[in-house]
Amino acid sequence: MTYYTLYNSPVGTLFLAEDDDAVTNIKQPSAALRDGASERDTPLLAELRRQLGEYFAGARREFDVPLAPAGTEFQLRVWARLSAIPYGETRTYGQIAAEIGNARASRAVGGANNRNPIGIVIPCHRVIGADGALTGYAGGLDMKTHLLRLEGAMS
């Protein structure tokens, strides 16, 4: 069963969901995300909210909740690589592509980034363009800027 709750964060309201005791979504809320899910504040979602609160307060750099992102094999490889980017650091799409063994896949990495279902915890905001520009972010560039500033990755 999928359960969800809403979390009012410094970057806006976030939809938090879990299924089978693992986090499946952290996104901006939409009616489509709620389909088939029941609103319930489970112990896991309460822990996720607590950890997000610590993160936004600058007191947490890593998350410790079970994750179950749904995606293709390629997307899962990209998201695993994103999870290895240290707090306060950034990588380019090309660097991520090279790190997963396909240096020509920077556009595909961008697509996987865009489809990341567990934003913030799987830190797709830490991926930037080759020229250092803040390129697309599913949560919007204002959110990406806020998160990178919070982490000290940009001034």
135 is a domain residue: yes
13 pLDDT higher than 80 = yes
Q: What is the mean predicted confidence (pLDDT) over 113-118?
A: 95
Shared domain check, 77 and 146: yes
Q: Which of 34-48, 85-99, 113-127, 131-145 has the lowest mean pLDDT?
A: 131-145
Our count of domains for the chain comes to 2
Q: Where is the domain boundary, 28, 56, 84?
A: 56
Whether 65 is covered by a domain: the verdict is no
Mean pLDDT score of the chain? 93
Judge whether 69 and 25 are in contact, CB under 8 Å: no
pLDDT in tens, 22-42: 999 999 888 667 788 899 999
Per cent of the chain over pLDDT 70 is: 98
Domain of residue 143, CATH code:
1.10.10.10
83 & 142 share domain: yes
The stretches of 16-140 forming alpha helices (DSSP H) are: 31-34, 43-56, 73-83, 93-99, 106-114
Instruction: Report yes or no on 103 lying in a domain.
Output: yes
The answer on 94 and 38 residing in a single domain is no
Catalytic residue among 97, 124, 143, 153: 124
Q: Are residues 83 and 49 in the same domain?
A: no
**What is the model's pLDDT at position 32?**
65
**pLDDT band (50, 70, 90) for residue 59:** very high
pTM recorded for the entire structure: 0.93
Q: What is the CATH number of the domain that holds 25?
A: 3.30.160.70
Domain range for 28 is: 2-56
Active site residue 124: yes
Residue 47 has pLDDT above 70, yes or no: yes
Predicted confidence band at 122 (pLDDT cuts at 50, 70, 90)?
Answer: very high
